[in-house]
Amino acid sequence: MNKEIKIQHGSGGSLTSKLVQNIFYKHFNNPYLLEAHDSARLPGVHGRLAFTTDSYVINPLQFPGGNIGKLAVCGTVNDLAMSGARPLYISCGFIIEAGFSMELLEEIVRSMAETAKEAGVIVVTGDTKVVEKGNADKLFINTSGIGEIPAGIEICGQNARPGDAVIVSGTLGDHGIAVMLQRQQLQFQSSVKSDCAPLNGLVSDMLKECPGIHVLRDATRGGLATILNEIASQSQVGIELAGSEIPVKEEVQGICEVLGLDPLYLANEGKLLAVVPEDKLQNVMRVMHAHPYGRDAKVIGRIVDKPEGKVFVKSAIGGRRIVDVMTGDPLPRIC
Amino acid sequence: MNKEIKIQHGSGGSLTSKLVQNIFYKHFNNPYLLEAHDSARLPGVHGRLAFTTDSYVINPLQFPGGNIGKLAVCGTVNDLAMSGARPLYISCGFIIEAGFSMELLEEIVRSMAETAKEAGVIVVTGDTKVVEKGNADKLFINTSGIGEIPAGIEICGQNARPGDAVIVSGTLGDHGIAVMLQRQQLQFQSSVKSDCAPLNGLVSDMLKECPGIHVLRDATRGGLATILNEIASQSQVGIELAGSEIPVKEEVQGICEVLGLDPLYLANEGKLLAVVPEDKLQNVMRVMHAHPYGRDAKVIGRIVDKPEGKVFVKSAIGGRRIVDVMTGDPLPRIC
């Protein structure tokens, strides 16, 4: 096999076919994919569908805790899970710069296959394009996903109600800091890893306990602050955060202080935010704490009726600081 | 609004939100998309599902007969239609190079919306990423699609049977030649346009007449030769083509002769190949000729039992020439 991706690997001809056989079919081996039609033909889904897409352009491609392939599967699985859906099928579209290492491509595809297995989803269809050297930065991956939303589940950003509790499933900012340190080769002795993980198992446990969860969101690009603002605006409510309760690893907090970053705006790839009716809070927290990806879950605030559309942090001494939407971009190409 | 895409348009923060509102929501306006959740939440689909994905990296972005946006919708609609599915929902993922023209982006999105309307599909979910100048070539688009396969339809590459007729829906090579002339600024006085079109309406008419069509494929990257070879191999049959029957516009044929290209290997974006049981051939041809995208349909050959896995052209004087799979790439980034 060639050691590098050539422009002809994207032609649709015999080299494309070899690449598909030797890497994609080998790792994503399943009957839907191997049928090799223009579309995958899949069994019917009885419930409502969830459908989502994301392109991944992260730089660098590998980082502590994961790589672009693991990220691409987790991100799409999580977007499905956040609408209460059971993720079923994933597509993947690769845009590869000519000259890219075949070995690294296979390693990334292997990670995708492992993560898909963990999440219980099947990669059923795909596409490969190759562009000339200099016309893309190494590798971009798109994943789209289909899930099934069980009857009775009504999760969306409009559903937050005053009195609801706001939960995060663990520490904030790990992905953002891990990628930034990897990218900039900063001289921090750091053990921070990306939190990149498929959250559908955790969500499934939470929904078994409380099918009436009001909102679920994963706190990716733009961080917790961005999604809280979206929810406050969509539900026309206020969100009051208890600053001291927001979980941030000591090491991440330290690096943020040195670099002048706010963990509320950093990307996470394995953390969710849940808005839960107060009377179900204890039950939901119990199942979250029992799950490996929810072990550090914390109640960080509550939904209030005013000021509508605003998020604010209440400090220990009673002060109030507005948490605004993000305007710049602290870290481009974080996912 | 900014005249150019900035890196912050991809941050997930307030500029991303403005871009989404001002361009994507404006043109793809529908309730599923406007719900603005991590996933679109869609009604259940009763039949089997078809699911497909394609990334578009075509250069140049605009060409006679279309642009990357029209192409991205047609390509995915056609992939769904080729499994006999009724296309329903489309996702789109944009990877944009910083500095890209906001006006051109809007024009491309407008084309996507118009084409989606023609095809009767809804753009229900999307994603936008921006990379630094020099890290992508202007704009790449991924579209994925979901369709419903009606009961009783069994179309796939394994189904060609000796005796079946092989039909193409119109002239070959128009897309390939139109894009090449546009790209290379060759001094041909040419009126050739890309054939880029959504074929689901044509397929729907064909399936009403003959639900038992054996194979459908669109002849994109790699051209007719590549898909014929795939079908011959998947169905373990031979395919005999009547060279004189293969429809090619005179102008395209002329340009191919000058440039040493073979229209059988050129990309099409609005032509399908159908393998049809002989007893239904006349009925299928009648509905094809009645449809604007099938007006020039021709029977170009038939399925034979030997040589297995091979495609060959029979000349008027009885000679036989093997049509092999494509090994090089006559025209990179054609879609």
Contacts of A54 in chain B (CB under 8 A): 93, 127
pLDDT of residue A23: 97
* Domain termination site, one of B149, B171, B201: B149
Instruction: Judge whether A11 lies within some domain.
Output: yes
- Specify the range with the lowest mean pLDDT, choosing from A117-131, B4-18, B96-110, B272-286: B4-18
> Which is more confident, A317 or A127?
A127
Contacts of B131 in chain A (CB under 8 A): 57, 137, 332-333
Instruction: Judge whether B1 lies within some domain.
Output: no
Count the Cβ atoms, other than its own, within 10 Å of residue A297: 24
- Specify the range with the lowest mean pLDDT, choosing from A204-218, A267-281, B31-45: B31-45
Q: pLDDT band at B186, cuts 50/70/90? A: low
Kindly report, residue by residue over B53-63, the tens digit of the pLDDT. 999 999 999 99
pLDDT of residue A324: 92
Instruction: Judge whether A167 lies within some domain.
Output: yes
A297 and A213, same domain (yes or no): yes
Position B65, amino acid: G
Nearest chain A residue to B129 by CA: give it: A55
For residue A325, report the phi and psi dihedrals to the nearest 5 degrees.
-70, 155
A315 and A207, same domain (yes or no): yes
Nearest chain A residue to B154 by CA: give it: A41
Position B196, amino acid: C
Cis peptide before B307 (omega within 30 of 0): yes
pLDDT of residue A326: 83
Q: Name residue B130's beta-bridge partners.
A: B96
Q: Name residue A93's beta-bridge partners.
A: A127, A142
Instruction: Judge whether B91 lies within some domain.
Output: yes
Q: Name residue A313's beta-bridge partners.
A: A241, A321
Contacts of A97 in chain B (CB under 8 A): none
Q: Rounded CA gap, A172 and B255, in Å?
A: 60
Do A83 and B234 lie within an 8 Å CB cutoff? no
B29 and B88, same domain (yes or no): yes
Using the predicted structure, report yes or no on whether residue B325 has a pLDDT greater than 90: no
Q: Rounded CA gap, B165 and B143, in Å?
A: 32
pLDDT of residue B291: 98
- Identify the three-state secondary structure at position B242: strand
**Which member of B7, B53, B82 has the closest CB to residue A93?**
B53
Kindly report, residue by residue over B288-316, the tens digit of the pLDDT. 999 999 999 999 999 999 999 999 998 87
- What the block records as the tokens of A288 is 């979250």
Looking at the complex, report in whole angstroms how far the Cα of residue A55 sits from the nearest Cα belonging to chain B. Answer: 6
Q: Residue A192 carries which DSSP code?
A: -
Packing angle between helix A200-209 and helix A68-81, nearest 10 degrees? 20
Looking at the complex, report in whole angstroms how far the Cα of residue B139 sits from the nearest Cα belonging to chain A. Answer: 10
**Which member of B46, B57, B89 has the closest CB to residue A51?**
B89
Structural contact between residues B101 and B7, judged by C-beta atoms closer than 8 angstroms? no
A129-149 average pLDDT score:
98
A66 and A36, same domain (yes or no): yes
- Distances in Å between the alpha carbon of B83 and those of A52, A335, B127, B146, B217? 21, 33, 26, 11, 8
A89 and A170, same domain (yes or no): no
Position B179, amino acid: V
Instruction: Judge whether A258 lies within some domain.
Output: yes
Using the predicted structure, report yes or no on whether residue B13 has a pLDDT greater than 90: no
B147-174 average pLDDT score:
97
B81 and B206, same domain (yes or no): no
Using the predicted structure, report yes or no on whether residue B329 has a pLDDT greater than 90: no
Looking at the complex, report in whole angstroms how far the Cα of residue A230 sits from the nearest Cα belonging to chain B. Answer: 9
A124 and A172, same domain (yes or no): no
pLDDT of residue A13: 85
Position A18, amino acid: K
A230 and A296, same domain (yes or no): yes
Do A226 and B13 lie within an 8 Å CB cutoff? yes
Instruction: Judge whether B247 lies within some domain.
Output: yes
CATH of the domain at B252: 3.90.650.10
* Domain termination site, one of B149, B182, B217: B149
Q: How far is CA B199 from the centre of its chain?
A: 8
Domain membership of residue A215 as a residue range: 157-322
Nearest chain B residue to A86 by CA: give it: B39
B11-19 average pLDDT score:
90
Query: A99's torsion region: left (phi>0), alpha (psi -120 to 50) or beta?
Result: left
Q: How far is CA A3 from the centre of its chain?
A: 31
Kindly report, residue by residue over B243-274, the tens digit of the pLDDT. 899 999 999 999 999 989 999 999 999 999 99
Q: Rounded CA gap, A129 and A58, in Å?
A: 18
- Which of B8, B30, B39 to mutate to test binding with chain A, by most A CBs within 10 Å of its CB? B39
Q: Which helix (H) or strand (E) holds A320?
A: strand A320-322
pLDDT of residue B12: 86
- Average pLDDT over all residues of chain A: 95
Residue B279: which residues within 8 A CB-CB, separation 6 or more?
Answer: none
Q: Residue B326 carries which DSSP code?
A: P
Q: Rounded CA gap, B104 and A26, in Å?
A: 40
pLDDT of residue B136: 98
- Identify the three-state secondary structure at position A23: helix
Q: How far is CA B193 from the centre of its chain?
A: 15
Q: Residue A4 carries which DSSP code?
A: B
Q: pLDDT band at B31, cuts 50/70/90? A: very high
Q: Rounded CA gap, B72 and B93, in Å?
A: 10
Do B37 and A329 lie within an 8 Å CB cutoff? no
Kindly report, residue by residue over A150-207, the tens digit of the pLDDT. 999 999 999 999 999 999 999 999 999 999 999 877 667 789 999 999 999 999 999 9
Looking at the complex, report in whole angstroms how far the Cα of residue B40 sits from the nearest Cα belonging to chain A. Answer: 5
A41 and A114, same domain (yes or no): yes
Q: Which of A108, A130, A71, A134 is nearest to B133 (CA)?
A: A134
- Which of A55, A121, A143, A224 to mutate to test binding with chain B, by most B CBs within 10 Å of its CB? A55
B105-110 average pLDDT score:
98
Helices (H), chain A: 14-19, 26-27, 31-34, 68-81, 102-119, 174-184, 200-209, 223-235, 250-259, 281-289
Using the predicted structure, report yes or no on whether residue B330 has a pLDDT greater than 80: no
Q: Residue B138 carries which DSSP code?
A: S
Instruction: Judge whether B328 lies within some domain.
Output: no
Q: Which of B98, B100, B107 is nearest to B26 (CA)?
A: B107
CATH of the domain at B17: 3.30.1330.10
B109 and B178, same domain (yes or no): no
pLDDT of residue B318: 79
Q: pLDDT band at B111, cuts 50/70/90? A: very high
**Half-sphere exposure (Cβ direction) of A158: Cα atoms closer than 13 Å:** 5
* Domain termination site, one of B98, B128, B149: B149
Q: Name residue A216's beta-bridge partners.
A: A274
Instruction: Judge whether A331 lies within some domain.
Output: no
Looking at the complex, report in whole angstroms how far the Cα of residue A335 sits from the nearest Cα belonging to chain B. Answer: 9
pLDDT of residue B37: 87
B95-118 average pLDDT score:
98
Q: Locate tokens 């009051």: which residue?
A: A240
**Which member of A7, A52, A57 has the closest CB to residue B40?**
A52
pLDDT of residue A187: 66
State the burial class of residue B107 (Cβ atoms within 10 Å of its Cβ: 0-12, 13-18, 19+): middle
A192 and A68, same domain (yes or no): no
A310 and A169, same domain (yes or no): yes
Contacts of B68 in chain A (CB under 8 A): none
The number of distinct structural domains making up chain A is 2
